[in-house]
Structure 1
Amino acid sequence: MRQCDVGTARPRMKRRDRASRRCQRARPLQELPCISLQGSMWSQSRSIKRKSRGCLGESLATESTPTELIQQWSPRHKHQRVACKGKENEGGQFVLARRSRRKREAISGLSWDHLPDELLLRILFYLPLQDLLRMSLICKRWHRLVFDESLWHSVDLEGLTHTAPALEQLLAAGVRRLRCPRAFIEELQFAGPSPARVVQMDLSSCTISTSALESVMSRCTLLECLGLEGMQLSDHIVHSLAKNPNLVQLNLSGCSGFSADSIGEMLKSLSRIEQLNISWCDFSNDHVKEVVGNLHSSVTHLNLSGYRQNLTLEDVKVLVARCPNIETLDLSDSAMLMADSFPIIAQLKKLLHLSLSRCYQIHPAALADFSETFPALRLLDVFGLVHETHLRSLKKGVPRISINSRPFSTVARPTPAPCDRLVYNERAMWGARCRLRFKS
């Protein structure tokens, strides 16, 4: 070879070697070793014979590297969901669409937060007491709706152990009918001097201090029916009762702790009273005279039993003169009454029910003429006066009058005792049950 040819061939060989090295560096991805594969995979990739030339398609065709393992170690692709509903896919055209979050929430349904207060109150009206209290803990709005006065119209707390906190909340919520007899009521702490809206309330036989009862009664001015049977009262409580001019039924049976003057002043202000049960109280003769001397003519049902030596014939005369519209009169356990009181009592032309049980000064023979003496009378109770052997003949002599059919008085009692002619409901209060009732 000529010297010139040798000189020109060497640069050509150098250029060819540089091109070969560039081709090796530009090998396809499949020919490069994967850094994620370890061990035998790395050694295997080094021992494989590679071709330094050729296009990418030829390298893929002749490559012996396992592409399945590379795909296994590669990150997975996220697939978009295909919107199968909507106008985008009409006519067979395949379109990917993404629905906004606000639109999805609107289509999914209406939230409770979107309902008006009136509709929520209507729903809460059908819930029992325990569930209603649980829902008050959800949020501030639900707490406000739960204690709306429309839901707490009538509540029965009989069986509740500690009644003071519940009583405070109920009076603040505007309860109208409240029943909690035989309850234990601790000291009350009201938030403010706001008046109560309660209309009917039964606190009979409750264990409560006089000061706590004074704080309750001082807030009540709209009472129509009240039961305080068997409780310790005070003159302050009796004066608070006088501030309820709409009081129609009052049960103070077995109460004590108030003076004769206070009970007289109270009865003067209760001009609409119809049923009064003031039997078996800690009364003296002055108490009885204040009662019969201050009753209004609106009284139709009166229980004045239990005053053995304190109720006299003169008191009966005053009573009949002041209350001519009496329909039910209970003078049981009055040891001073005798048969000479019958013509006076007979002046009550509307009298339907008379109780003279254990009035031992009345001779049983004087009862034989009751049909003529009391033409309107339908019920007569003479327990302890007539022996069983003479009771049958007495019933035959006065067939128009039912004798000894009412062993318990029902005058002004919120839940009267069961009898043959009355439908008895142990949880009723003045003929109706409370909607919200505590279940122990």
Structure 2
Amino acid sequence: MADSIRTIPGTPLSPAVPVIVVDGESDGTETPQKRKGSQRLLRRLQRISSSPTLTRIGRPRSSSSPYGSPGAFSCVSLATSPSPFAHTNSSTSYFSHTPTGDYSTAPSSVATTPCLESPGQDDIECDLAARKIDQPVVTVTTSSLPSEVKKKSKVFNLWTSMPLELKIHVLSLLSPKELVRTSRVSKKFHELCFDGQLWTSFDASHFYKDIPAESLARILETAGPFVKDLNLRGCVQVEHYKQADGFVRACRNLVNATLEGCRNFERTTLHTLLKSNKQLVNLNLTGLPAVNNATCKIISRGCQQLEVFNVSGCKQMDAQGIKFVVEGCHQLRDLRAASIRGLHNRDVAEAIFKTNNLHRLVLAGCTDLTDDAFQLMIHGPNPEFDIVTGRPLTTPRKLRHLDLTRCSRLSDTSIKSLAYMVPELEGLHLSGLTRLTDEALEPILASTPFLTHLELEDLAELTNSLFSTHLAKAPCAPHLEHLSISSCENVGDAGMLPVLRVCTNLKSIFMDNTRISDLTLAEAAAMVRKRSLQRPRQSQLPVVALSMVIYDTHNVTWTGIREVLSRNAEMIKPSPAKSVADGVFSFPAEIISMKCFHTWQMTVDEHTKRVLRGDIGSACRFEKLWAEYMQAAQEAGIDGANLRRRRRRAREAQQLLAGEDPAAAPSGRRRSLTTACVVM
């Protein structure tokens, strides 16, 4: 690029101006003209006036470039005219067309920009030397953008330039419902939203009410080959859709399948799904009328890798189907067959004994299960017994969870067979076995050191001796987390106080409809307070560490409820040797939640809510007002002197409690506020 210095002739009052043209040529003509003597004199005076030491007079004129395209051509004006344009601060050239076709120039440099003279049209101009000024010459040059850059879009599209892996990762953060909506944006988004990596898990249990059957079937048909975890729990709209076979045939790689709640699922469709997915590991068919013994036979032949099988509530099958699955699926670990008929069959019991791979066995509601069949499941056919101990010489079972709830035909004879045969047992559910006594449970508690969940609901024959003597001294006592003795009418404080002192890891306890009293509640509160001080603090706010159910317990009064509420909001005083920074807190870290008599439940819930949010002062005031109200109400119910005054105190306490929280105030008859009527 060559720069050239050219002189553009001016008007008589504005002599020729030398211009440096960069990357372009001037359109004006360069016709040299002979100047007169007066013009030469004016020219010299103008040169003298360009000195920065002279004060310039006049108001600067604004300038702007009329050319919109940047970089076409640019020039730097070096005019020394005393015109007002010399005062402008703009750095761009200003051109204006004259009627005669010539060009007039205006300076674009700052006021102190020096003037460079080119060899002129006459001898005088050529002999003049250029004046030297200390400040350097400021030249502004611009050039046009390359054509390749101009062709590109000015807006950078981040999504288009993003790798496919990142796009899939971004879309994986969306829910299935949001993915379907996003797929309508364009064809490219449709391809991305139905990529197999996004549909390896399809759980419709959260949005099945908001999506029509046609859309649900279409999604499964598109993403079916990639789905590994399918959950259609509660999707009743799929049952009546005519093209249900379409998405069933598309799902060929299922590993976990849950069809619970699809009550009208056709049997042929179900069998097609099972035959085309031989790698199933978890299968849940709870309550499906389409399931029968033929379905279980298909599963036993095709699904050799099955580990979890749930057919609870399938009324069209019996225990023979259970036998097919147990004998065919050798990796079965979890069998749930609640409310299945025919479990008194000895062949089925012997098949369950031979497998010895089950970790969970749920037979709740199987009323056909007898003592002989259950003993055969545990001891096997014709077992040998030790002469000294009287225990069977049989390989112990691997059961960890056993649920025999409402198996009403079982008695102490069969339940006692679990003793020393299930050393890894963690959960035992025996609720509803009304024929059980302490004799059946004593050896079980002594031989299950890992027991954490024990449900003994509706066992009216149990006594306090089982809990105080055996459970409190059992090896599982420190590990016990859940205990249910609901409707055990013979169990009271004598049996539960030792349990609460030893079982310090309890998280939930159900004691409704028993004979416990306020002493049990006070012991539970002391146990939770003691262990909260021993455990490290996890959060700044209290958490519920023990849930108690104590409704319908006639020996529990409001005094025991108040004791628990008071312990929940009791402030902890730091010792002199420790400070708050050492881990001493002003309120307990763990509290107790209760489900009690319905009249007190609203007060208990409100108090617990305030403690959980850390408002200990408000909880203490609320508990005090409730105690005053209950005490006044109790005094008002006593016949004798000052009965009217006691009732007035009860009403005042009730008003105070209502002012603290109207929702938690006890309900009762309101006094009429109307005035007396005077009859003339």
Question: Whole-Å Cα distance in 2 between the matches of residues 166 and 143 of structure 1?
Answer: 14
Question: Whole-Å Cα distance in 1 between the matches of residues 278 and 411 of structure 2?
Answer: 42
Question: Whole-Å Cα distance in 2 between the matches of residues 305 and 131 of structure 1?
Answer: 37
How does 1:229-244 map onto structure 2 within 5 Å? 229-230=260-261, 231-240=263-272, 241-244=274-277
Give 2:594's aligned residue. none
Give 1:329's aligned residue. 361
Offset at 1:202? 0.9
Question: Whole-Å Cα distance in 2 between the matches of residues 372 and 114 of structure 1?
Answer: 66
How does 1:20-419 map onto structure 2 within 5 Å? 79-80=66-67, 92-95=138-141, 98-99=144-145, 103=149, 108=154, 110-112=156-158, 115=161, 117-118=163-164, 121-122=167-168, 124-125=170-171, 128-129=174-175, 132=179, 135-157=182-204, 158-159=206-207, 160-174=209-223, 196-207=225-236, 208-209=238-239, 211-230=242-261, 231-240=263-272, 241-284=274-317, 287-295=318-326, 296-308=329-341, 310-347=342-379, 349-364=397-412, 367=415, 370-385=418-433, 387=458, 390=462, 394=466, 397=470, 399=474
What percent of counterpart residues are identical?
20
Question: Whole-Å Cα distance in 2 between the matches of residues 111 and 307 of structure 1?
Answer: 61
Q: How much is the aligned-residue C-alpha RMSD, in angstroms? A: 4.1
* Compared CA separation, residues 325 and 132, structure 1 to 2 (3 A): closer
Question: Whole-Å Cα distance in 2 between the matches of residues 362 and 376 of structure 1?
Answer: 22
Question: Whole-Å Cα distance in 2 between the matches of residues 259 and 170 of structure 1?
Answer: 29
Partner amino acid for 2:239?
S
* Residues 353, 379 of structure 1: 8 Å contact kept: yes
Question: Whole-Å Cα distance in 1 between the matches of residues 286 and 247 of structure 2?
Answer: 19
Give 1:61's aligned residue. none
Give 1:183's aligned residue. none
* Residues 329, 354 of structure 1: 8 Å contact kept: yes
Other structure's SS at 1:218 match: helix
- Residues 215-262 of structure 1, C-alpha deviations (whole Å, 9 max, x = no match): 332332211111111323333134221331111111111111344334
* Compared CA separation, residues 206 and 381, structure 1 to 2 (3 A): same
Other structure's SS at 1:332 match: coil
* Residues 367, 409 of structure 2: 8 Å contact kept: yes
Q: TM-score, normalised by structure 2?
A: 0.39
Offset at 1:206? 1.9
* Residues 217, 243 of structure 2: 8 Å contact kept: no
Question: Whole-Å Cα distance in 2 between the matches of residues 88 and 156 of structure 1?
Answer: 70
* Compared CA separation, residues 339 and 156, structure 1 to 2 (3 A): closer
Partner amino acid for 1:167?
L
Structure number with higher relative contact order (C-alpha < 8 Å, ≥ 6 residues apart): 1
Partner amino acid for 2:397?
K
Question: Whole-Å Cα distance in 1 between the matches of residues 197 and 290 of structure 2?
Answer: 37
Partner amino acid for 2:139?
Q
* Compared CA separation, residues 216 and 288, structure 1 to 2 (3 A): farther
- Residues 2-43 of structure 1, C-alpha deviations (whole Å, 9 max, x = no match): xxxxxxxxxxxxxxxxxxxxxxxxxxxxxxxxxxxxxxxxxx
Question: Whole-Å Cα distance in 2 between the matches of residues 340 and 306 of structure 1?
Answer: 19
* Compared CA separation, residues 366 and 391, structure 1 to 2 (3 A): farther
Other structure's SS at 1:380 match: strand
Offset at 1:173? 4.2
Residue correspondences, number: 310
Other structure's SS at 1:245 match: coil
Offset at 1:314? 1.0
* Compared CA separation, residues 313 and 221, structure 1 to 2 (3 A): same
* Residues 309, 335 of structure 2: 8 Å contact kept: yes
* Residues 368, 394 of structure 1: 8 Å contact kept: no
* Compared CA separation, residues 344 and 133, structure 1 to 2 (3 A): closer
- Residues 304-340 of structure 1, C-alpha deviations (whole Å, 9 max, x = no match): 12035x2214144233245221111111222232333
* Residues 232, 255 of structure 1: 8 Å contact kept: yes
* Compared CA separation, residues 97 and 299, structure 1 to 2 (3 A): closer
Other structure's SS at 2:196 match: coil
Question: Whole-Å Cα distance in 2 between the matches of residues 165 and 91 of structure 1?
Answer: 77
* Compared CA separation, residues 138 and 124, structure 1 to 2 (3 A): same
* Compared CA separation, residues 315 and 237, structure 1 to 2 (3 A): farther
* Compared CA separation, residues 117 and 375, structure 1 to 2 (3 A): closer
Partner amino acid for 1:292?
K
Question: Whole-Å Cα distance in 1 between the matches of residues 310 and 463 of structure 2?
Answer: 28
* Compared CA separation, residues 245 and 322, structure 1 to 2 (3 A): farther
Give 1:40's aligned residue. none
Offset at 1:346? 2.3
* Residues 332, 356 of structure 1: 8 Å contact kept: yes
* Residues 197, 226 of structure 2: 8 Å contact kept: no
* Compared CA separation, residues 321 and 256, structure 1 to 2 (3 A): same
Question: Whole-Å Cα distance in 2 between the matches of residues 229 and 305 of structure 1?
Answer: 14
Partner amino acid for 1:235?
R
Other structure's SS at 1:293 match: helix
* Compared CA separation, residues 213 and 136, structure 1 to 2 (3 A): closer
Partner amino acid for 2:229?
Q
* Residues 335, 358 of structure 2: 8 Å contact kept: yes
Offset at 1:121? 1.6
Other structure's SS at 1:354 match: strand
* Compared CA separation, residues 250 and 117, structure 1 to 2 (3 A): same
Offset at 1:169? 4.3
* Compared CA separation, residues 220 and 356, structure 1 to 2 (3 A): same
Question: Whole-Å Cα distance in 1 between the matches of residues 466 and 481 of structure 2?
Answer: 9
